[in-house]
């Protein structure tokens, strides 16, 4: 198996707070790795260290065997690494299709579209493919701001897949999404993982969503890796139950 992502002893401190305290793990090609843990245990900080939003205090991040520690998010994008954020990143006044084209341009490293609005940039076909894949056809020309929250989360996830990334880090994709839309979101993520061989790491507080979507689950507590295993192994781990699931 090929490791798409290799994290070695990554640390990040903010003053006296050890937000991430020596975390190491690999993510294999085609895996969906869930990242869970109580509020404040360091999940988002770890994501930000992987994605270049933060520079780790120590440690190394490799993508496809290449050291990427400290690279900027735009450079990581060009290496096929993409992400979603906890808060929606859609532009409410732009249509669904325009949001996707804009995301595609950003993945190509063209930030000017933020200032001047998206042109086609040869990305219409890719946007339409993503619209079809995420079943947003009936909403393609609607302003994103007029969509329901769940539909906006679907669009937000679809935006991360513009540009055909190898590795996608999803930060709470199910957060605030109602039950009906949750099923759609999970089914679409599973399908895109299967059909495009995309590798994911998913931060999520919704246990049912994580346990049913992910092939492996990693648990953090107080900046450290507490457990790693299949959903069934993690569910049965006494340390996990004590630190997290039991509460
Ligand atoms: N920019 C920052 N400056 C100072 N402290 C920070 C900063 N970012 C995070 N922290 C602290 O680092 C710790 C880890 O925070 P982080 O947001 O990574 O946790 P999390 O597991 O993602 O939490 P949640 O599930 O609530 O999103 C917390 O104690 C937090 O207060």
Ligand 1 nearest atom to the CA of residue 41, by list position: 21
- Verify whether ligand 1 is closer than 6 Å to residue 206 (CB atom): no
Span from the CA of 107 to the centroid of ligand 1 (angstroms): 26
What are the CA-CA distances from residue 172 to residues 17, 156, 246, 247 (Å)?
23, 11, 21, 19
In the chain, where the domains are located: 1-80+166-247, 87-164
Span from the CA of 113 to the centroid of ligand 1 (angstroms): 31
Ligand 1 nearest atom to the CA of residue 42, by list position: 18
Which of 42, 176, 201 gets mutated to test ligand 1 (max ligand atoms within 8 A of its CB)? 42
- Verify whether ligand 1 is closer than 6 Å to residue 41 (CB atom): yes
pTM, 2 dp: 0.89
Q: What is the ipTM of this complex?
A: 0.96
| Homologous superfamily, domain 1-80+166-247 | P-loop containing nucleotide triphosphate hydrolases (3.40.50.300)
Which of 35, 41, 53, 210 gets mutated to test ligand 1 (max ligand atoms within 8 A of its CB)? 41
CA distance 29 to 45: 23
Ligand 1 nearest atom to the CA of residue 223, by list position: 14
CA distance 176 to 225: 26
pLDDT by residue, tens only, the chain of 247 residues: 679 999 999 999 999 999 999 999 999 999 999 999 998 999 999 999 999 899 999 999 999 999 999 898 888 888 899 888 777 788 999 999 999 998 888 877 655 555 555 566 678 888 999 999 888 999 999 999 999 888 898 899 899 998 888 999 999 999 888 888 899 899 999 999 998 888 999 999 999 999 999 999 999 999 999 999 999 999 999 988 887 655 5
What are the CA-CA distances from residue 1 to residues 28, 137, 165, 192 (Å)?
6, 36, 19, 20
Which of 43, 83, 247 gets mutated to test ligand 1 (max ligand atoms within 8 A of its CB)? 43
CA distance 150 to 179: 9
Residue in 15, 5, 16 with CA at minimum distance from that of residue 59: 5
pLDDT at residue number 190: 93
Residue in 131, 121, 146, 65 with CA at minimum distance from that of residue 97: 131
pLDDT at residue number 178: 86
pLDDT at residue number 105: 84
For ligand 1, atom 24, the nearest C-alpha belongs to 39
Span from the CA of 178 to the centroid of ligand 1 (angstroms): 26
């Amino acid at each position: 198996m090929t490791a798409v992502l290799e994290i070695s002893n990554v640390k990040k401190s903010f003053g006296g707070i050890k937000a991430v305290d020596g975390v190491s793990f690999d993510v294999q090609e085609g895996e969906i790795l869930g990242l869970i843990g109580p509020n404040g245990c360091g999940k988002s900080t770890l994501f930000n260290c992987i994605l270049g939003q933060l520079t780790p205090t120590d440690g190394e991040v490799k993508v496809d065997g290449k050291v990427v520690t400290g690279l900027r998010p735009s450079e990581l994008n060009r290496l096929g690494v993409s992400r979603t954020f906890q808060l929606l990143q859609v532009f409410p006044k732009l249509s669904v299709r325009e949001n996707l084209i804009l995301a595609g341009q950003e993945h190509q490293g063209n930030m000017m579209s933020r200032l001047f609005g998206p042109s086609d940039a040869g990305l219409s076909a890719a946007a339409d493919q993503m619209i079809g894949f995420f079943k947003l056809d009936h909403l393609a020309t609607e302003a994103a701001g007029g969509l329901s929250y769940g539909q906006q989360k679907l669009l937000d996830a679809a935006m991360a897949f513009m540009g055909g990334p190898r590795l996608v880090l999803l930060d709470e994709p199910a957060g605030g999404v109602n039950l009906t839309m949750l099923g759609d979101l999970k089914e679409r993520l599973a399908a895109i993982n299967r059909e495009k061989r995309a590798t994911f790491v998913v931060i999520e507080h919704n246990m049912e969503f994580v346990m049913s979507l992910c092939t492996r689950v990693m648990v953090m507590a107080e900046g450290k890796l507490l457990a790693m295993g299949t959903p069934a192994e993690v569910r049965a781990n006494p340390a996990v139950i004590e630190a997290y699931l039991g509460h």
